[in-house]
Structures are given as structure tokens and as C-alpha cells.
């Protein structure tokens, strides 16, 4: 890598670095009056690639922050990744915005006091506010990834009340932790027990048939993967291990609490993936089963493939998947270690990987907010766009979660363009972009283009911008902005 800092970026030098005192108000990201750093070369550089792929968009000031400690760009990138993997507090502005969404902090027992539509709306708004405004972008990216991996559709049954707790206690808590902990938290999450019917998986008598729904998805989607080498018998035996785990749905104050009803647990001997579990294992059956599947080589491979698909390419090279899977196994499923390895693979850092991913709709929307420093309440008009594009948060209907390949989302262009138009035209209630200030702080139209495209605009982009009455809309709707 021969890039120098000046080669990747131009900008306001010392003035721009003073932007590091960041972030007030409910802005997705702050916009300041002095010019912020933007790319100055026609190809996407390493810094730009890392910032863009590991986030929901590059906000004004992000480049300065990454480069502030000085040194070579590749060293700065490594330092930035390390920092992102140990997230601290959110800034006051985002905390205030989140504070207005009262339900997201409510304990499990209190959630039933809320209307489901309010819970879903606030949870969705919170997701969008964090994606657009958090300084801990890599964590937010991982939260989105695990939310798909352990998908729970909040429009199913009591998930409407319970997904809020699942998001907080399962996904967000363990997003950068250990996979085994995340898996256990999900297995015993009341929302998951409702979503995949684990709560009614019981075998009080030998004649009763366990409900296989969760056990199947545990193997197929959450751990080994569909080609992971398990059989229909493994699914049925795994379901037996999990019988009796249920969610209280009567007692008012204990509603939503998860417990093992031993009378409904099948305590006979089971055999999963060739391993004997029980008899008389009781609650330990679940732990043995999760130990077994979390440590299975197919799980490392399955999770690595997913991570590489998100961070490298729709069809990631096998060598990178192998490297990442090995890191996952070596570290006992430590998500930080695994990510650190991934973000240093040759495949991730190669120029071919840059801007090779189509942003999914949620990403596209969040990045429009983040990159423009929009002021937003992330309210219903914005969420409606996500629904139309088929990626309303926490509402993907089937357990495999929203797909992460371009082909699934190409049909959403029209809606991205409509949103770009509405944002640039100030027609979206609850959200505003101060186009004039943004242009000014970027330092002119060409530099704003470089900020949004991740490189200087080419000839066609320049001429489209020059002739358009709605240049900001053109940039946000352009093919280059749809990619990360």
C-alpha cells in the first residue's frame, strides 16, 4: 500500500482536525462551517473503503477522526478498527434522541404495558438513529448482522412485546462478544421462544411429538448451516433436548419470563451429531447441545461466510472464508478476534472489494442521513420507505433474515431515488437536510460530490451535477452512492 495521507484526502488540515470536538443535538452527524476532509483522488482509497464498509456511511468529520492520531493510513485504519471494537459511550446528542424513545429501555416485565405498534415504531426509530448517528459504527453494523442471523419478526404473536428486550439483551449485548454467549442468549430469549415456537416444544408423554421449528433453524440458520452435515434425525433429537423451555404467558409480573418446566422436558437419552446427550440431563441438555453446535467446524464456516459476505463481497473468496473460520475456531468464537482477522484479510483490503457491495435499503437510508448530517427523528415517514423497500427493521417474515446480496435489492432503486428527492427537497416530515450548510462546509459542489461518492466525481457525474436543478438528489440517488 503506497498511499499517503495527502494522497487519499485533502481538506482543511489543522482546521479540519479541530472538528474532533463533535456532535450536539439530534443530528445524525454534525455539520460544521469549516471545510471537512473529503477524498481528492478518482479511486476509492483504503481509508475510504474501511470507513464506508464498516459503517452506515461516512459522516462529515469521520475521516479526520480516523486520521487524527497521525501515522500511515494503514496503521490509522488498524487503530480505528481496534477502537471501534471496544465501543464506549454514545455522544450526548444521540443519547438524548434515544432517551425520547421511552420504551426501548423498559425492563421485560414493563413491556407488556405498551402498545405493540409503539414498541415496534420506537425500536425501529432507535435502530435508524443509532445507525445514522452512533460513533460506534462497527458495533451498529454487527447489530444489524446479528439481527438478521437471529431474525425475529416482531409482527409475530408476542414478539411484538418481546423483541425490544431481545434487541437489547441478546443482540446488542453480545454483538461484539462471544458467539456461544450470543447463541445461548438467543436460545433463551422469550422473543425467539415465541418466534420459532420453542415455547410450545414439549414432550410430557412418549406419544407427544416435539415442535421442531426452533431446533431446525438452530442447526440450519444459526449454527451449522444448511450444508452443515446434520440430518432430519439430528433436528428431531435436538428438539428433544430443548423440550420444556417455555415462556410464562399468564402471571402478570412474570409474563415473558423464561423457565424450564421439567414435567414437559424429555429427559431420555438423545443423540445429536453422533454425540450422546442425557439421559437425565435436565436443563443441562440445552447447554450440552449449544456447546456441541457452537464448537462445530461447520458453524465456524457458516458464520465466517456470513461475515465475509457482509464485509467483503456477495460471493466472498473461499480463502478469506477459511481464514476467518479458522480465527473463529481458534478464539472459541470470539467475535472481536474474528472481525479483526477478517478486516485484515487480503480480500477485504484488495481494491476489487471497494464499492463492490450494494447497500441494502436500511443501509442506504441510514447513509443518506449520516452522510448529509441530516436532522431527523427517524419517525414513521422515514420508516415507511424502509417498508416499501422490503427492509423494515425487525419485520423480515422468515427466519433466515433479510438477504445480503445485491440481486435481492436491485428492485428497490426507484424508492431510493424517491427518498433522495424527498430529502433534498425538504419534503420528508421529521427529517431535514441543510443543503446550503452542507455544501458550504464541504467546500463546494465538487467536494460535496467527493464526500458522498468516496472519490472525486468523474466526467459524467460532473456534467449531471452541473445541469441538474437537484444536485444533492442526483448524488444520493447515483449508482456510486448505492454502494459501499
The distance of closest approach from Cβ of residue 57 to other proteins in the complex, given in angstroms and rounded to an integer, is 19
**Which residues inside 304-343 make contact with other proteins, applying CB under 8 A?**
none
The distance of closest approach from Cβ of residue 92 to other proteins in the complex, given in angstroms and rounded to an integer, is 36
Instruction: Please select the residue that binds other proteins; options are 126, 415, 433, 438, rule is CB under 8 A.
Output: 415
| Nearest residue (CB) to other proteins, 133 versus 225 | 225
CA distance to 63, 229, 403, 433, 481, per residue, from 477 (Å): 23, 43, 22, 15, 7
> Which helix (H) or strand (E) is 186 found in, with range?
helix 179-187
Residues 6+ apart with CB under 8 A from 318: none
Instruction: Please select the residue that binds other proteins; options are 51, 358, 383, 433, rule is CB under 8 A.
Output: 358
425 near other proteins (CB under 8 A): yes
Instruction: Please select the residue that binds other proteins; options are 7, 70, 107, 411, rule is CB under 8 A.
Output: 411
Burial class (CB in 10 A: 0-12, 13-18, 19+), 463: exposed
85 near other proteins (CB under 8 A): no
- Which candidate, 368, 375, 362, 364, places its Cα nearest to that of 28? 375
Dihedral (C-alpha) 221, 299, 354, 356: value to the nearest 10 degrees? -30
DSSP for 368-437 reads HHHHHT-EE---HHHHHHHHHTT--TT---STT-S--SGGGTGGGHHHHHHHHHHHHTT-STTEE--HHH
Instruction: Please select the residue that binds other proteins; options are 154, 175, 449, 477, rule is CB under 8 A.
Output: 477
**Which residues inside 179-198 make contact with other proteins, applying CB under 8 A?**
197
267 near other proteins (CB under 8 A): no
The distance of closest approach from Cβ of residue 205 to other proteins in the complex, given in angstroms and rounded to an integer, is 9
- Which candidate, 90, 44, 49, 41, places its Cα nearest to that of 66? 49
163 near other proteins (CB under 8 A): no
221 near other proteins (CB under 8 A): yes
Instruction: Please select the residue that binds other proteins; options are 232, 252, 274, 436, rule is CB under 8 A.
Output: 232
Among the listed ranges 70-78, 130-138, 176-184, 400-408, the one in contact with other proteins (CB under 8 A) is: 400-408
165 near other proteins (CB under 8 A): no
Cα dihedral across residues 262, 264, 269, 273: positive or negative = negative
Instruction: Please select the residue that binds other proteins; options are 4, 319, 437, 468, rule is CB under 8 A.
Output: 468
Among the listed ranges 138-146, 289-297, 369-377, 466-474, the one in contact with other proteins (CB under 8 A) is: 466-474
Cα separation of 278 and 17, whole Å?
A: 61
Grid cell locating 95: 443519547
Look at strands 9-10 and 38-39 and give their pairing. antiparallel
Cα separation of 367 and 99, whole Å?
A: 22
Phi/psi of residue 47, each to 5°? -60, -45
The distance of closest approach from Cβ of residue 203 to other proteins in the complex, given in angstroms and rounded to an integer, is 8
420 near other proteins (CB under 8 A): yes
Count interface residues toward other proteins (CB under 8 A): 54
| Nearest residue (CB) to other proteins, 176 versus 422 | 422
Phi/psi of residue 387, each to 5°? -65, -45
| Nearest residue (CB) to other proteins, 166 versus 220 | 220
Grid cell locating 366: 441510514
**Which residues inside 371-390 make contact with other proteins, applying CB under 8 A?**
387-390
> What's the full length of the chain, in residues?
484
The distance of closest approach from Cβ of residue 398 to other proteins in the complex, given in angstroms and rounded to an integer, is 6
Which positions lie near other proteins, rule CB under 8 A? 197, 200, 202-204, 208-213, 216, 220-221, 226, 232, 236, 358, 387-390, 397-400, 406-415, 417-418, 420-421, 425, 460-461, 464, 467-470, 473-474, 477-479, 482
Amino acid at each position: 500500500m503506497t498511499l499517503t495521507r495527502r494522497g487519499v484526502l485533502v481538506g482543511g488540515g489543522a482546521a479540519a482536525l479541530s472538528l474532533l470536538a463533535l456532535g450536539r443535538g439530534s443530528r445524525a452527524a454534525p455539520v460544521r462551517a469549516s471545510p471537512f476532509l473529503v477524498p481528492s483522488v478518482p479511486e476509492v482509497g483504503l481509508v475510504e473503503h474501511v470507513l464506508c464498509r464498516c459503517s452506515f456511511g461516512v459522516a462529515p468529520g469521520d475521516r479526520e477522526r480516523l486520521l487524527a492520531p497521525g501515522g500511515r493510513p494503514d496503521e490509522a485504519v488498524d487503530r480505528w478498527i481496534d477502537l471501534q471494537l471496544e465501543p464506549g459511550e454514545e455522544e450526548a446528542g444521540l443519547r438524548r434522541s434515544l432517551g425520547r424513545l421511552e420504551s426501548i429501555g423498559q425492563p421485560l416485565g414493563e413491556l407488556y404495558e405498551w402498545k405493540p405498534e409503539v414498541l415496534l415504531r420506537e425500536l425501529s426509530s432507535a435502530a435508524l438513529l443509532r445507525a445514522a448517528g452512533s460513533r460506534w459504527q462497527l458495533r451498529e453494523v454487527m447489530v444489524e448482522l446479528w439481527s438478521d442471523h437471529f431474525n425475529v419478526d416482531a409482527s409475530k404473536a408476542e414478539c411484538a412485546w418481546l423483541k425490544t428486550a431481545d434487541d437489547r439483551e441478546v443482540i446488542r449485548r453480545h454483538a461484539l462478544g462471544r458467539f456461544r454467549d450470543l447463541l445461548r442468549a438467543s436460545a433463551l430469549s422469550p422473543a425467539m421462544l415465541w418466534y420459532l415456537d420453542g415455547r410450545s416444544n414439549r414432550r410430557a408423554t412418549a406419544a407427544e411429538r416435539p415442535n421442531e421449528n426452533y431446533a431446525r433453524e438452530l442447526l440450519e440458520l444459526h449454527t451449522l448451516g444448511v450444508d452443515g452435515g446434520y440430518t432430519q434425525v439430528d433436528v428431531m433429537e435436538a428438539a428433544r433436548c430443548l423440550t420444556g423451555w417455555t415462556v410464562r404467558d399468564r402471571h402478570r409480573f412474570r409474563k415473558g419470563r423464561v423457565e424450564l418446566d421439567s414435567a414437559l422436558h424429555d429427559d431420555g437419552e438423545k443423540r445429536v451429531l453422533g454425540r450422546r446427550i442425557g439421559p437425565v440431563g435436565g436443563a443441562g441438555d440445552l447447554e450440552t447441545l449449544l456447546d456441541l453446535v457452537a464448537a462445530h467446524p461447520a458453524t465456524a464456516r457458516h458464520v465466517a461466510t456470513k461475515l465475509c459476505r457482509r464485509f467483503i463481497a456477495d460471493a466472498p473468496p473461499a480463502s478469506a472464508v477459511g481464514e476467518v473460520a479458522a480465527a473463529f475456531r481458534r478464539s472459541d468464537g470470539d467475535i472481536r478476534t474474528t472481525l479483526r482477522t477478517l478486516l485484515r484479510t487480503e480480500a477485504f483490503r484488495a481494491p476489487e472489494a471497494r464499492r463492490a457491495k450494494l447497500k441494502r435499503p436500511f443501509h442506504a437510508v441510514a447513509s443518506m442521513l449520516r452522510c448529509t448530517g441530516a436532522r431527523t427523528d427517524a419517525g414513521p415517514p422515514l420508516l415507511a420507505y424502509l417498508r416499501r423497500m422490503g427492509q423494515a427493521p425487525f419485520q423480515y417474515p422468515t427466519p433466515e433474515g433479510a438477504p445480503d446480496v445485491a440481486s435481492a435489492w436491485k428492485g428497490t432503486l426507484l424508492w431510493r431515488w424517491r427518498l433522495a428527492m424527498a430529502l433534498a427537497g425538504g419534503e420528508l416530515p421529521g427529517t431535514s437536510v441543510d443543503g446550503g450548510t452542507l455544501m458550504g462546509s464541504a467546500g463546494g459542489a465538487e467536494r460535496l460530490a467527493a464526500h458522498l461518492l468516496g472519490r472525486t466525481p468523474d466526467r459524467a457525474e460532473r456534467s449531471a451535477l452541473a445541469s441538474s436543478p437537484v444536485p444533492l438528489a442526483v448524488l444520493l440517488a447515483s449508482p456510486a452512492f448505492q454502494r459501499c
